[in-house]
Amino acid sequence: MAQQPQLHFPILIFTSIFVISFSSFIRPPHPFDPLTESEFKLIRNIIKKKYPVGPTHRFTFQYVGLNEPDKSGVLSWHLSLHHNVTPPPRQAFVIARENRKTREIVVDFSSRAIVSDIIRVGHGNPMLTIDEQEVATELVLKFKPFRQSIRRRGLEVSEVVVTSSTMGWFGEKDTDRLIKTIPFYLNGSVNTYLRPIEGMTIIVNLEKMKVTTFKDRFMGPLPKANGTEYRFSKLKPPFGPTLKNSIFLQPNGPGFKIDGHVVRWANWEFHISFDVRAGLIISLASIFDIDMNKYRQVLYKGHLSEMYVPYMDPSEDWYFITYLDCGEFGCGQSAVSLEPYTDCPAGAVFFDGIFAGQDGTPTTISKAMCIFEKNAGDIMWRHTEAEVPGLEITEVRPDVSLVARMVTTVGNYDYIVDYEFKPSGAIKMEVGLTGVLEVKPVEYVHTSEIKEDDIHGTIVADNTVGVNHDHFVTYRLDLDIDGTENSFVRTELVTKRTPKSVKTPRKSYWTTNRKTVKTEAEARVKLGLRAEELMVVNPNRLTKHGNEVGYRLFPGPVSGTLMAHDDYPQIRGAFTNYNVWITLYNKSEVWASGLYADRSQGDDTLAVWSQRNREIEKKDIVMWYTVGFHHVPCQEDFPTMPTLSSGFELRPANFFEQNPVLKTKPIKLSSAPKCTPKNGY
């Protein structure tokens, strides 16, 4: 008999702080467990035997991750009692470069052998490695014409930092592995991105590892270092606002349990993993139904698929800045170590992230992900009943949730990626944008001085324009609502005139027009164009009242692309042409921008897959949702940007027979510490 999960409420007090940090786990045989350090070493050794590196033989690891196991095999293992079914074979998928060719290699761990090895043919290039970007920027710093140009500007080479930028694609037939590099000047500042040195075009060929294009086109103004400091130890009074420290203490320990990478909390169970491209991955999320006395499937796998960041300045120094962050730089590769107490609160448990460096050697990001309980003072549900004569009833339940978090810093922006699980059955996905603006130098310090028709942004400091841009964060959500055979339902809210047969003064009302979508083309949604509700349902599972069990999408603020569809960056980023897509499950369709995003040509994206217009009714389907931001910078974004967040929520809709948290036990007040309010607070 299944054991009913319990929900533990944290108690708010002022006391000491503790952090539990896990850097490694004794791993149960779970098909979705991330590759371990020893597995990365084994992969490297197996491949190096076949492809030894030498003076005339260059071999680099561009991506190493878990080879997606067969879904039916995973579910058979997962749903079996005590996991007594043999799990699918554990394998690694490797994308490598060998002497200017791209290889796709599959390594099987049980046989310790390469079971597939093909040369990839097609557009686009693999994800960039940290190593090759560092070598490229060092080349530029040593490049004599570049050093001369820096000195000609009256600047010190020792104070210059060079960063890498992808090239994009603008119709070229030749798409070699090239990157552009952008110089910045420190000299009194550590806020690198706020002091760009414009006027130079610098291109590095990553295969030849040499500067192949250098043009010093003009010398422009340089933003000042004053006002760019953000380190607290270097800032000067006045300070503020002052925030009082408050933390949660759970006398009986945290309300969640971790078994390897499986997390159990309240009525939820899910698996957490890490990938060098996606970062944090949530898999096999199931919720316990007290009426059925069992866990029920909700989400097979969910993660970031792409982050598309096009800037809105078509000038020579800016037109190519149209990043595909996950596909070009790796959202996992760019993950940063989380700071206990601040990035994650007291009581958080941390997971390391491990990925392969360019030579295949494992690299560890300590504390790359965290799990913690969140009590923000929200109310789960309440009701006051005062209409019963002689009786007043008040029932309130505080809301507590469980958050899985990662922060990925891709260049100047820090992205806070949260997956929040609620006892009500809801899953909330949220991304927070913070960090530093990408700016361009101008001669202006005041708007009255502007001469051009369009400066493509906002003056945020002296000689500094924060450039207009977008952020489109696309999630891949393989929902399995009570099983794999699901349908997508669009329910339009339609205004009706009151029939003459109704003898009341009302003239109108709205009703619903429900449509089960048949094909992928019908499932492309631009949010905000009409009033409608979107659901993924299981038509084979009905409530006792005859409703199809399902989960409803609650969108956040809606922003869609404003770029022309024939513009080259938007051809590559066509997966943002709609806010919501539904596609037939295909384990090879994972990355919305395509498997090879760098310098890609838009011929292997979500938009292309959807054009196949496959049937999706009563099928295994995948939802793709894009969170969008149009960012017109303002002075408050300088020198660092307060976090701007957006997201969406998946909520049960006729999934349960009634409110699943109705019987949540209230807090026992006698167990809470007594705090005396001071000064009326």
pLDDT digits (tens, 9 = 90+) for 595-630: 999 999 999 999 999 999 999 999 999 999 999 999
Quick check: 25 pLDDT over 60? Answer: no
Separation of alpha carbons 255 and 421, rounded Å: 13
Q: What are the start-end ranges of the E strands in 276-312?
A: 279-289, 294-310
pLDDT digit string, tens, across residues 193-249: 999 999 999 999 999 999 999 999 999 999 999 999 999 999 999 998 888 876 667
The rounded Cα 215 to chain-centroid distance in angstroms is 36
pLDDT digit string, tens, across residues 431-458: 999 999 999 999 999 999 999 889 999 9
Which tops the pLDDT comparison, 539 or 86?
539
Q: What's the confidence (pLDDT) of residue 280?
A: 98
Options 33, 313, 325, 480, the catalytic residue: 325
Q: What's the confidence (pLDDT) of residue 21?
A: 38
Quick check: 679 pLDDT over 70? Answer: no
Q: What's the confidence (pLDDT) of residue 81?
A: 72
Shortest CA distance to 538 belongs to which of 655, 451, 449, 631? 655
- Is 325 an active-site residue? yes
Quick check: 285 pLDDT over 50? Answer: yes
Q: Which of 68-82, 367-381, 396-410 is least confident?
A: 68-82
Which tops the pLDDT comparison, 252 or 129?
129
Q: What's the confidence (pLDDT) of residue 243?
A: 84
Q: Which of 10-24, 126-140, 309-323, 571-585 is least confident?
A: 10-24
- Is 413 an active-site residue? yes
Q: How far is CA 84 from CA 78, 80, 612, in A?
A: 9, 6, 38
Provide the β-strand partners of residue 264. 257, 269
Separation of alpha carbons 500 and 144, rounded Å: 86
Which tops the pLDDT comparison, 390 or 652?
652
Average pLDDT over residues 136-140: 98
Quick check: 516 pLDDT over 60? Answer: yes
Options 63, 185, 295, 413, the catalytic residue: 413
Torsional class of 575: left (φ above 0), alpha (ψ -120 to 50), beta (otherwise): alpha
Separation of alpha carbons 538 and 655, rounded Å: 9
Q: What's the confidence (pLDDT) of residue 275?
A: 98
Average pLDDT over residues 241-270: 87
pTM: 0.94
Q: What's the confidence (pLDDT) of residue 8?
A: 54
Q: What's the confidence (pLDDT) of residue 657?
A: 97
Q: What's the confidence (pLDDT) of residue 355?
A: 98
Identify the structural domains of the chain with CATH numbers, from first to last. Answer: 37-119 (3.10.450.40), 256-380+392-653 (2.70.98.20)
Separation of alpha carbons 219 and 155, rounded Å: 12
H-helix or E-strand containing 681?
none
